[in-house]
Structure 1
Amino acid sequence: MTTEQEIQNLKEQVANLEVMVKNLTSGYASTHINRIQMSTDTAAKWEKTNRACKPGELIVVIKANGHVAIKMNRETTDSLYNDIPVLWDEDVASTLANAMTDAKAAAETAKQSAASATESVTKTEAAAKSINDKTLLATMDGLVIKLNAQDNGIDVATATKEENANG
């Protein structure tokens, strides 16, 4: 015969089972029990079958060139493979990495070109200044003969004490 205590324990177990069944049927379990589902196949097979993928499902796609792309169903319901956007693609990542390397090299080349251009501008400005200045050709007997680059003429003037001393 069953005791009153055993009957009470069985009633509690039944009540607990009823709560669990209620939670499972109301969707409680699907929001608190997580599972990672990942599917892998070739791109050709995925595109041909275009099967439905579960919400949150990761799809690993092996492309014809052997590289990998990853898709993920970010919807709250099943979605067809062909409707799911690509999350990451090895070819795109490689292209972006190469473009970044090329951009860094181009930036370095541009920086070096800018430095060379600045140096050339400085030298050109110095040369232009010396051309714009009158260039001393000769000093003799108190006279100075200078080339005047502004009017392409030759200027003859009385020498200063300093020009006579240097001449």
Structure 2
Amino acid sequence: MTRKLALLGSAFCLVVSAGAACADDLPVRKAGLWELKMVRTGSAMPDMTMQHCTDETVDKEMNNNVSPMAKQICSKQDIKKTATGYVSDSECNVAGISTTSHAEITGDFNSAYTVKTSSHAQGGAAGAAGHDTAMTLEAKWLGACKPEQKPGDIVMPGGFKMNVRDMDKLKALLPK
């Protein structure tokens, strides 16, 4: 159960990262199947590669679902366009853990994009001294979704499948 919660938490973080890449002032990703590879440094969590079937409606729904949740847990969430892409800075608090994050988003949303995030967490399991992590999300478009997939489906390592339209179920499993 702990491993499943960790995977769900990682998926939630991935969805939030992808959701940040779908904010109103950012391009919507090309419809189809995206491979999302999450590489972390400074964390005990292993690298993860997932596939996400999406379309314009799902990307907009992700933003609409993630934005209110982010507003509840984040006191700061700024996204700005830069010469090379976008920059996002946030300050959030979940389950007694305060996290400050900086993300740089580059690439296009038709074939590939990268989100490089550095975070500092303090409190909770991070301890009083805090903990720094870095994550790179590498996304590449693979083509059309597979016939058995519907927009919103995410296939995680080990074949675990969820749909981002089921975010309420995921939120219920995360610690409060």
Higher relative contact order (CA 8 A, sep 6+): 2
Shared fold (TM-score, shorter chain, > 0.5): no
Give the TM-score taking structure 2 as reference length.
0.20
Give the TM-score taking structure 1 as reference length.
0.20
Q: Which has the higher helix share?
A: 1
**Pair member with larger Rg:** 1
